[in-house]
Structure 1
């Protein structure tokens, strides 16, 4: 019998993008909604065009910095937790490797392998990369899904700024009398487009994603405009 020769087969999966995709979509979505809502609220309060522009620019800068800081802190906390778990696992492998082998074997048995085969698989994987095997199959930590604080922070800040720049551009170009209408309609369009792009990249239904993002964004603008009209100066 001829020996079997295995050739590596490389595939790219959507889960590899989930870290930056989540941060980018969240940032752009928040940029559009936050800035458009600010503009809608201030415009409904009968503010001048200059004040509306100042509000939009300030919202872009403040929002981008806030998104970056918040994302960095939250994802860094996740990374610290993962690091602590890996250190604990490394210590357990060094002090009681047999128990860790049994633990990994039990995991594979629960996944459907026969006990003997599960033990063989666990033994070979631990001989190749014990910590990597336990990180992946016991802790659920993989390269594709591991926390990357700086990447998430940068993606959030840049995507927020890009998202916020869309309603800001509309504010700069739209007629002052119909500024509120232009802001709401254009922001709804931008949100639908964002939802469609995110769904396409992530491989999820486009229409459902676009409708969900647009609905909640429009609701936020409506509430903010209502507050602005309620507490704003009379025309």
Structure 2
């Protein structure tokens, strides 16, 4: 009897946990999309309840307060970015092939509007680049990991003889590539046009070829 009651209690806990996880995922889908449009500063329990159809009390139960909601939203945005941009690129060898794949996938992530407002991290960075606190730290850490990962691929390409760059050149290329993407994202949103993405691809090919890349390895960046 005792074992049966314990099993039933475990099943109830597992069911509640599963329902809680499903609710959290559903709310996070609304939260990340809303943030990409209105920014992280505008994200609140009340605003999220308004757009998601969930009650304020249920959202508060999941995230406790506005800061908890914002931190969870940054983590959810980061998870989507990793799944859509980083993981597919890992199918390619480290170095130039993976670097090119990263740039291709990040452009497509923005162009196809994985988030309704374009790049999630472009939106949240604009809100928190001059502030302090846990939310800003979470945004900065996510962006830093992305930028460092790009530089790691540039260095790997240099070590493999796929690019010809000195130390300063490595840093410059690792800065220029995401800068081209970020400008394309911003201009595409402002002008409702795909043309900025074509220009970004062209710019990426140009700087990579100037760094010694074999044009045959840049096909993913063709228009």
* Common fold by TM > 0.5: no
TM-score by structure 1 length? Answer: 0.28
Question: Higher relative contact order at CA 8 Å, sep ≥6: structure 1 or structure 2?
Answer: 1
The structure with the largest alpha-carbon Rg is 1
